[in-house]
Amino acid sequence: MISDTQPKEQTALRYLDRDQSLLAFNRRVLNWAQRDDVPLVERLRYLCITSSNLDELFEVRAYNHLAAYIANDHKGDFSVASFEDLHRSAQSLVSEQYALFNGALTAAFAKENISIISHGERDAAQRKWVQKYFEEEVMPLLVPVALDPAHPFPQVASKSLNFIVELGGTDAFERKNSIAIVKVPRVLPRIIALPAKLCGKKQLFISLSSVIRAHLDNLFPGRAVGQFSQFRVTRHTDMAIDEEDVKNLRMALRQGLQHRHYGQATRIEVSSSCSPELSALLLKQFELPECALYRVHGPVNLVRFGQLADLVETPSLRFAPYTASYPASMQPVVRGLSVFDRLKQGDAMAHQPFESFDAVLDFLREAVYDPKVLAIRQTIYRAGSDSAMMDLLVEAVRRGKEVLAVVELKARFDEEANINWAERLEAIGAQVVYGVVGLKTHAKMLLVTRKEGKQLRRYGHLSTGNYNPRTAKLYTDISYFTQDAQLTQDMEQLFIHLASQNHIPKLKKLLMAPFHLHREMIARIDELAAKASKGKSSRLVAKMNSLTDESIMDALVRAGQAGVKVDLIVRGACMLPAQLPGLTENIRVRSVIGRFLEHSRVFYFRCESQEDLYLSSADWMNRNMLRRIELAWPVTDSVLRQRIIDETLNAYLHDGMDAWEMQPDGSYVSLRDPVNGHSAQQALMVRYKKIGS
């Protein structure tokens, strides 16, 4: 609806809690594990994903709530109340996870003759095999520690499997009763397949925790094993490095990685049967309140049950394999045209994972082996430990190219892989820099400089996602190839800035955080608001992973109140409540959870017939706008622009299978219509599989 009045004065609006929004996102992911139409093995994977996401929440976000609780702080975003609310919601979600695992999923696997059998369910032959496995493969790696003044509680790593055991009788020194801790090495598989000869026509598995539970007596000869429980501690794992006070960031981070897994505890998981005495001991040891204790009806680490999904040998229980087609706009390359000659004809794109990442690899590969290419510059955020792209950069150095790699050492949970790549590239002569002190380099760009006649010509690649061939098969992202002189010149200036930290000149097309991007996004939103207030038809559609920046949310509220129709496609955390009467009634928020992880960032602004489209590496979050090096760039090619609008915005705004719509109270309602609804992701898979067939 277009307002014919001046914008209302913005009424005080209470934004939603970010962490509660993250937990709501996890419930939407869990829904895929609950859906009967999803293949059974994939349902288990989604359950494991929710557990992994919850782990990350406690590793990264929970510490601030805990610190406020300890300080008895009752004000602000982090407080005693926020701590209790976080655990109350998380406990509820965990209960749903285990109810699903022990109920519907276990029963569904049993119907397929697939089971994880407990000690009580094993026959004599199976028990004999398990005992031999324990004695030969497990027991030699276990060193139980009995607690006394000379043997304090051992350090246990974050998310590791451990047992706490109450012992009766006397030890070798005639001391009565004690507590022992058994640390389980991570090298041991958590799920073990029984040999086929012991399974009949079934696929039978055993859990490592079950194996250890059944043979705890073997670890304590001459002692009586009393109460015991498996337990798992989640710790705060964000590394605090004072970049202003270190001489070598890479070395400081490598040292910090050694201590990452032993930070402040934020959660303890124990078996549901854990005695009050043992749970109290654990809470005291890890200095946590009662509400941070999670009693679970099953394995304390559902994430590791993803191993079962890998071991199941029934293809029909998985998603049908999907092979992405080669990007449509890069098809001439398949027919033998040089990547560089193709880009001279105009910009190109790949919509991953519906189209393959191969075009990006081909772009870099041709640059590496082309004698006319003089220099290659690339940002590296999450490349992975086994990366074809990094191997190509190594080959480029060997072939005498000038290679500049801007490696982000602080990419959370990828620090070690990135440090290793940085050291390998430096060792063979590449120029490696680590971006700007105090800022993460999250922008994804690759620039090739080629000698053509007497000219140097630049070719660029920009992306909403990472240079990681593995995740490129799992995440939806836009890869953008260009020979646009202004865009590539901006990219060159940015690389120089990242290496030299000189003042960056005025950019012609790129919008860069932390300098311009935040301000420009707000200005664009306010411009639409001003035009809408004059009665002009205005529309804003933005697709991203998270929306938590208050300045941008304020601007969106102003725009909605001025009459701009605002549609937000936000996969994860969204703090802006939608459809509140008198406040955000012109704003709609939807979240799409599909087979692939929605990851592309697309921003669309339209007034009357004038439309602008930007792709970006950045979500609309304060950290992306002010504490990271991020990019957004305009798509000026009309054909590609319309294609992006159709495939990443329109398709998702009309998704009636995988979409959820936010309600005024911040909750989400599924828009799933099995009869008439369509899935945007499924439609794109069909479209590009046909092109590639």
Share of the chain above pLDDT 90, in %: 75
Given a cut of 70, is residue 237 above it in pLDDT?
yes
| Both structure tokens of 237 | 């794992």
CB of 50 within 8 A of CB of 30?
yes
Residue 657: name the closest of 672, 668, 670 by CA.
672
Q: What is the band of 232 on the pLDDT scale with cuts at 50, 70, 90? A: very high
Q: What is the band of 263 on the pLDDT scale with cuts at 50, 70, 90? A: confident
Predicted confidence (pLDDT) per residue in 65-76, tens digit: 999 999 999 888
Side chain identity, residue 389 = M
Q: What is the band of 84 on the pLDDT scale with cuts at 50, 70, 90? A: very high
Other beta carbons within 10 angstroms of residue 33's beta carbon come to 22
CB of 261 within 8 A of CB of 235?
yes
Given a cut of 60, is residue 4 above it in pLDDT?
no
Predicted confidence (pLDDT) per residue in 315-353, tens digit: 999 999 999 999 999 999 888 999 999 999 999 999 999
| C-alpha dist (Å) from residue 625 to 498, 508, 510, 525 | 17, 19, 14, 15
For residues 168 and 224, give the distance between their C-alpha atoms in angstroms, rounded to a whole number. Answer: 5
Domain residue ranges in the chain: 18-317, 328-509, 513-692
Mean pLDDT of 141-146: 91
Side chain identity, residue 369 = Y
* Cα dihedral 572, 587, 627, 426 in deg (nearest 10): 50
Predicted confidence (pLDDT) per residue in 412-441, tens digit: 555 666 677 778 888 888 888 876 667 888
DSSP 76-142: SSSSHHHHHHHHHHHHHHHHHHHHHIIIIIHHHHHHTTEEE--GGG--HHHHHHHHHHIIIIIGGG-
Give CB contacts under 8 A, 24+ apart, made by 33-38.
33/100, 33/105, 34/100, 34/104, 37/674
Q: What is the band of 9 on the pLDDT scale with cuts at 50, 70, 90? A: very low
Q: What is the pLDDT of residue 243?
A: 44
Q: What is the pLDDT of residue 1?
A: 25
DSSP 258-279: TTGGGS-EEEEEEETT--HHHH
Continuous segment of H or E residues that includes residue 419: helix 415-427
Q: What is the band of 303 on the pLDDT scale with cuts at 50, 70, 90? A: very high
Given a cut of 80, is residue 234 above it in pLDDT?
yes
For residues 588 and 527, give the distance between their C-alpha atoms in angstroms, rounded to a whole number. Answer: 20
Given a cut of 70, is residue 256 above it in pLDDT?
no
Side chain identity, residue 432 = V
Report CA 81 to chain centroid distance, whole Å: 27
For residues 166 and 277, give the distance between their C-alpha atoms in angstroms, rounded to a whole number. Answer: 10
Q: What is the pLDDT of residue 689?
A: 82
Lowest mean pLDDT among 214-218, 487-491, 498-502, 504-508: 498-502
Given a cut of 90, is residue 3 above it in pLDDT?
no
Q: What is the pLDDT of residue 2?
A: 27
457 HSE (CA, 13 A, CB side): 15
pTM to 2 decimals? 0.91
Mean pLDDT of 132-137: 96
**Max Cα distance, the chain (Å):** 89
Q: What is the pLDDT of residue 420?
A: 74
Q: Same CATH topology for 328-509 and 513-692?
A: yes
Q: What is the pLDDT of residue 528?
A: 97
Query: Which residues face 162 on adjacent strands?
Result: 183, 231
Predicted confidence (pLDDT) per residue in 445-474, tens digit: 999 999 999 999 999 999 999 888 888 999
What burial class does residue 228 get, using C-beta atoms within 10 Å of its C-beta: 0-12 exposed, 13-18 middle, 19+ buried? buried
Q: What is the band of 177 on the pLDDT scale with cuts at 50, 70, 90? A: low
Q: What is the band of 149 on the pLDDT scale with cuts at 50, 70, 90? A: low
Catalytic residue among 215, 236, 442, 518: 442
Q: What is the pLDDT of residue 613?
A: 98
Share of the chain above pLDDT 70, in %: 90
442 is catalytic: yes
Check residue 199 and give left, alpha or beta (phi > 0: left; psi -120 to 50: alpha). Answer: alpha
Q: What is the pLDDT of residue 413?
A: 52
What CATH code is assigned to 18-317? 3.30.1840.10
For residues 66 and 79, give the distance between their C-alpha atoms in angstroms, rounded to a whole number. Answer: 8
Burial call 544-570: b when 16+ CB within 10 Å, e when fewer: bbbbbbebbbbbbbbbbbbbbbbbbbb
Residues with Cβ within 8 Å of 213's Cβ and at least 6 positions away in sequence, in order, are 119, 163, 228, 230
Q: What is the pLDDT of residue 634?
A: 97
Mean pLDDT of 627-644: 95
| C-alpha dist (Å) from residue 162 to 102, 155, 239, 257, 294 | 22, 11, 24, 21, 15
Given a cut of 50, is residue 126 above it in pLDDT?
yes
Predicted confidence (pLDDT) per residue in 526-559, tens digit: 999 999 999 999 999 999 999 999 999 999 999 9
Predicted confidence (pLDDT) per residue in 666-690, tens digit: 999 999 999 899 999 999 999 998 6
For residues 254 and 241, give the distance between their C-alpha atoms in angstroms, rounded to a whole number. Answer: 11
CB of 566 within 8 A of CB of 556?
yes
What CATH code is assigned to 513-692? 3.30.870.10
Residue 692: name the closest of 316, 469, 470, 359 by CA.
359
Query: Which residues face 191 on adjacent strands?
Result: 207
Mean pLDDT of 493-506: 88
| C-alpha dist (Å) from residue 186 to 141, 183, 234, 453 | 10, 9, 15, 57
Given a cut of 50, is residue 192 above it in pLDDT?
yes
Check residue 55 and give left, alpha or beta (phi > 0: left; psi -120 to 50: alpha). Answer: alpha
For residues 107 and 285, give the distance between their C-alpha atoms in angstroms, rounded to a whole number. Answer: 38
For residues 244 and 626, give the distance between their C-alpha atoms in angstroms, rounded to a whole number. Answer: 18
Q: What is the band of 525 on the pLDDT scale with cuts at 50, 70, 90? A: very high
Report CA 136 to chain centroid distance, whole Å: 37
Give CB contacts under 8 A, 24+ apart, made by 338-342.
338/366, 339/363, 339/366, 339/367, 339/459, 339/481, 340/366, 340/370, 340/450, 340/457, 340/459, 340/483
CATH homologous superfamily of 328-509: Endonuclease Chain A (3.30.870.10)
Residues with Cβ within 8 Å of 686's Cβ and at least 6 positions away in sequence, in order, are none
pLDDT, greater one: 407 or 99: 99
Q: What is the pLDDT of residue 441?
A: 84
Q: What is the band of 245 on the pLDDT scale with cuts at 50, 70, 90? A: very low
Given a cut of 60, is residue 242 above it in pLDDT?
no
639 HSE (CA, 13 A, CB side): 6
How many residues belong to the chain?
Answer: 693
- Per the prediction, the chain carries an average pLDDT of 90
For residues 555 and 442, give the distance between their C-alpha atoms in angstroms, rounded to a whole number. Answer: 24
Q: What is the pLDDT of residue 272?
A: 95
